[in-house]
């Protein structure tokens, strides 16, 4: 009786949230490859794409989707070194939004998120700060973060870097790229010296690159948090 129940669950969530061409095992295999590329006492923190600003279908960052299969805006994931243990952090369910845009996997859809991604744990987004603080107090892990802009829609990394350069050269527009702003916010919440980490990122260029279907993933290795 267990097998039919599992198949029913998979069918139900595929129908509700769209059918992925990749299985949870595939996403898990990709994360395992990443986990083996970083030290055991390390974590990779992934930031998902924000909501769209226009009337277009939401598109997840290529990097985030490649490793999780989750197509929910403002999602995050932490992957542990060596084991590949993965924790997803998702927004709460928004019934009003789902009435107009369709179902989205949320923090309350724990089973659905695990079926789609193969993740080990699922929590609301606001819990990530507390979990990072606990890690800092217990094991002080090495942290890997995005170093270059993540891609989505009809974007490429070279065009995104050119876009960043255009903004930096505009004296009246000093908007911080979202992935860089995330680094600052995370460092603030975990009480890490931002200057030392920024300098280390500049010196190292990247923590590692994981090649995959959507190209290379550049992560910046920070000092221990």
8 A C-beta contact, residue 121 and residue 88: yes
Give dist(CA 113, CA 71) in Å, integer. 10
How many Å from the N-terminal Cα to the C-terminal Cα in the chain? 46
Query: Could you tell me which CATH number the domain at 20-221 has?
Result: 3.40.350.10
Task: Write out pLDDT tens, residues 173-202.
Answer: 988 888 888 877 776 665 544 443 444 444
Say what the pLDDT of residue 190 is: 56
Tokens representing 170 are 């505009």
Task: Write out pLDDT tens, residues 118-140.
Answer: 999 999 999 998 998 888 888 88
Question: 115 vs 8, 182, 201, CA distance in Å?
Answer: 11, 28, 35
Give dist(CA 177, CA 195) in Å, integer. 17
pLDDT beyond 80 at 208: no
Cα-to-chain-centroid distance, residue 24: 16
Say what the pLDDT of residue 148 is: 81
Task: Write out pLDDT tens, residues 30-62.
Answer: 999 999 988 888 899 999 999 988 888 899 999
8 A C-beta contact, residue 43 and residue 31: no
């Amino acid at each position: 009786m267990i097998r039919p129940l599992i198949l029913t669950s998979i069918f139900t969530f595929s129908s509700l949230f769209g059918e992925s061409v990749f299985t949870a095992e595939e996403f898990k295999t990709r994360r395992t490859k990443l986990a083996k590329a970083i030290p055991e006492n390390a974590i990779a923190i992934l930031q998902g794409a924000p909501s769209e600003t226009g009337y277009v279908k939401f598109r997840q960052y290529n990097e985030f989707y490649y490793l999780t299969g989750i197509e929910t805006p403002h999602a995050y994931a932490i992957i542990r070194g060596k084991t590949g243990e993965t924790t997803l952090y998702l927004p709460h369910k928004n019934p009003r939004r789902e009435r107009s845009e369709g179902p989205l996997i949320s923090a309350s859809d724990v089973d659905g998120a695990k079926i789609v991604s193969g993740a080990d744990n699922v929590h609301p987004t606001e819990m990530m700060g507390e979990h990072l603080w606990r890690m800092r107090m217990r094991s002080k892990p090495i942290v890997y973060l995005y170093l270059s802009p993540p891609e989505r829609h009809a974007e490429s990394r070279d065009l995104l870097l050119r876009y960043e350069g255009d903004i930096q050269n505009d004296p009246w527009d000093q908007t911080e790229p979202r992935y860089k702003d995330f680094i600052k916010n995370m460092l603030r919440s975990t009480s890490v010296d931002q200057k030392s980490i920024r300098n280390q990122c500049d010196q190292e260029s990247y923590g590692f690159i994981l090649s995959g279907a959507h190209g290379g993933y550049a992560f910046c290795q920070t000092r221990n948090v």
